[in-house]
Structure 1
Amino acid sequence: MSPTAQRTKPANAKTLRQHVIDALEELKAKDIREIDVRGKTSIADLLVIASGTSGRHVKSIADEVVKFAKKAGVMPLGVEGEREAEWVLVDLGDVIVHVMLPRIREFYGLERLWTVGDRDTDAEAVNAG
């Protein structure tokens, strides 16, 4: 087989998102949340946040995300936090995956951080109407 035939076509953002979700579900990640950050930041289009039940579970979930991304033809730009395995970040370019222990997730509150403007807009619409 030629080197060209062995390469897989890189996944688009929608396909990559599905591979990430499949990987998270495969290893029973908890509380999976997707946050569309287009227009809020240029670092990514989508943040995916999930929890693991232990440090070992967090690391295994992150490893599975990397494995599924590679199958989709996407090489991670970086993986951080594997040693401590309390919060592992997998940067896939358009999609950034955060796998965290529940206490770390609650402490940093990424969902609140990235949706604060969305909630304000919703509250203003209720108050105006």
Structure 2
Amino acid sequence: MDIRKLQRTIVDALEDVKAQDIQVFNTEHLTSLFDRVIVASGTSNRQTRALAASVRDKVRAAGGTVKNPEGEGSGEWVLVDCGDAVVHIMQPVIRAYYKLEDIWGGKSVHLKARQQADAASKGSRLRQGDASSAMPGTKTRAGQAEKTGQRGAPKPAAKAVKRAASASKPRTKAPAKPATASVPGKRAAAKSAATKAAQPSTARSATSSPKRRVAAKKPAA
């Protein structure tokens, strides 16, 4: 098992049973037998035994190898050998007497609290999930933008196209027609008026009344 995972598992197991003053020391530079020494305190014989059992069960459940704890009979100092890490669970009086921190405590390891570690791991998983979901989402949004750009572009109206085409062609003015040509009645009236105007005044006067026509036929005496 990875040493970081192992020390995290041991510390979590100790915290589950309310261990006090948990300290982790790196011993790689002092011995080749183990890499970590973990020291914790229990307030009673019963608690020290419960702490040792919690460490044993948690490490085995995580896939690690654990030897049977030593010192469970008295419960004053229980040692749990987890291979690369050795756990010393001691009552406060015994711990103050032997002072293991002076022997193995040259290089301490600072671990985050469980809540902080859980929050950090959860945040990293969320960030990874956001990053993995953001890539296809970005493509989708880009594709949607392209589609909306193609669909949403206003198409020119048919009338506007016709107006533009007619405006581009040169306009030719048709010859103006007389105002009377549009109405058939007015056209006939205008024609008869023009015919009457073309006749001589004497012919109009002769034909206008019967007396004048008779006078015109008789020769002068």
Return structure 1 stretches of 4+ with deviation > 2 angstroms: 115-118
Within a 5 Å distance, the mapping from 1:49-68 to structure 2 comes to 49-68=39-58
The structure richer in strand per residue is: 1
Q: Secondary structure at the match of 2:60?
A: helix
> Which amino acid in structure 2 is aligned with residue 97 of structure 1?
V
Q: Please, which of 6, 26, 31 is the counterpart of residue 41 of structure 1?
A: 31
Q: Decide which of 92, 103, 125 is 2:93's aligned counterpart.
A: 103
Is 1:12 paired with 2:2?
yes
Alpha-carbon distance in structure 1 between the residues aligned to 2:104 and 2:16: 26
Q: For the structure 1 residues 117 and 98, does the alpha-carbon distance in structure 2 shift closer, same or farther, using more than 3 Å as the test?
A: closer
SS in 1 for 2:95: helix
Using the size of structure 1 for normalisation, the TM-score is 0.79
Q: Which runs of 5+ in 2 are unaligned?
A: 109-221
Check conservation: 2:26, 2:107, Cα contact below 8 A: no
Provide the C-alpha distance between the structure 2 equivalents of 1:117 and 1:31, rounded to a whole number of angstroms.
Answer: 16
1:24 aligned counterpart, secondary structure: helix
Distance 1:34 1:52 in 2: 16
Q: Find the aligned partners of 1:24 and 1:117 in 2 and give their Cα distance.
A: 21
Higher RCO (CA < 8 A, seq sep 6+)? 1
**Secondary structure of the structure 1 residue equivalent to 2:65:** coil
Two-structure CA RMSD over aligned residues (Å): 1.6
- Offset at 1:42? 1.4
> Which structure: greater helix fraction?
2
Task: State the distance in 1 between where 2:54 and 2:67 align.
Answer: 15
**CA contact under 8 A between 2:14 and 2:51: conserved in structure 1?**
yes
Aligned length: 108
Q: Percent identity?
A: 40
